[in-house]
Structure 1
């Protein structure tokens, strides 16, 4: 079981469904939900910074929406790298999108931390694939 999964999406229904699926599958001890990239960056800056002593934990897995107000997925990824939060080797990021444009998918290739993209909402098969491929779990 993972320690922490983070969902970053401005759609409450998507967050509810994804969180419920992850809970039913017993993927993680804890699941945190953020409604935009800015809220998530603020949390992760505390939780994942080198030498930072915080009661907040750095996640094992992040599901990140591409299109959001306040701070979209690409701005989040840029800020994540700028703040050197990607130095934590174990964090895996998966992109979620309702409309994957060719341009967006090409742009994702610039981010080594992003391992894959999925259409919203997650399916049991998607989650099993992530766990098998990146966390050596069935």
Structure 2
């Protein structure tokens, strides 16, 4: 089965969550390339300098260095075509404020509750 996407960027400060999510993405052949970083500032830098051009970004909300929403503010200022990139918030948060903010953000394709599963992957828009 061919990969659905070329490049997937996973941004989450939790090593274990990254390990589990990466394994799931690899075993489902979700993307040809899966790039993982625990640092949202590093992710912004990779996007800014063009070393990563993802079709899909899985983004955690609650990270100590920079929240997912702060990442999205920085992402908004980057100068490249964002229309071809889907961003999925991947979070354990059930806070209605987080869900509302994600619904209101023009870059977020869908809010996904952790843990990511094969079923959720199949249902992603």
State the TM-score, normalizing by the size of structure 2.
0.91
Q: Residue 13 in 1 paired to residue 16 in 2?
A: yes
Q: CA deviation at 1:3?
A: 1.0
SS in 1 for 2:32: strand
Query: Which of 68, 75, 89 lines up with 2:70 in the alignment?
Result: 75
Say whether residues 1:110 and 2:107 are aligned partners.
Answer: no
User: 1:54-133 residue pairs with structure 2 within 5 A?
Assistant: 56-85=51-80, 87-130=81-124, 133=125
Per-residue deviation, 1:45: 0.6
- Counterpart of 1:50? none
Structure 1 runs not aligned, ≥5 long? 48-55, 134-138
| 1:17-56 pair list within 5 angstroms | 17-47=20-50, 56=51
Counterpart Cα distance in 2 of 1:41 and 1:102: 26
How many residue pairs get matched?
122
**CA-atom RMSD in angstroms:** 1.2
The one-character-per-residue Cα deviations of 1:70-92 (angstroms, maximum 9, x if unpaired) are: 1110000000002244x331100
Give the Cα separation in 1 of the matches to 2:49 and 2:122: 29
TM-score of the superposed pair, with normalisation by structure 1: 0.83
Distance 1:109 1:123 in 2: 21
Give 1:36 shift: 2.3
| C-alpha distance in structure 2 between counterparts of 1:100 and 1:84, whole Å | 32
CA distance in 2, matches of 1:117, 1:64: 10
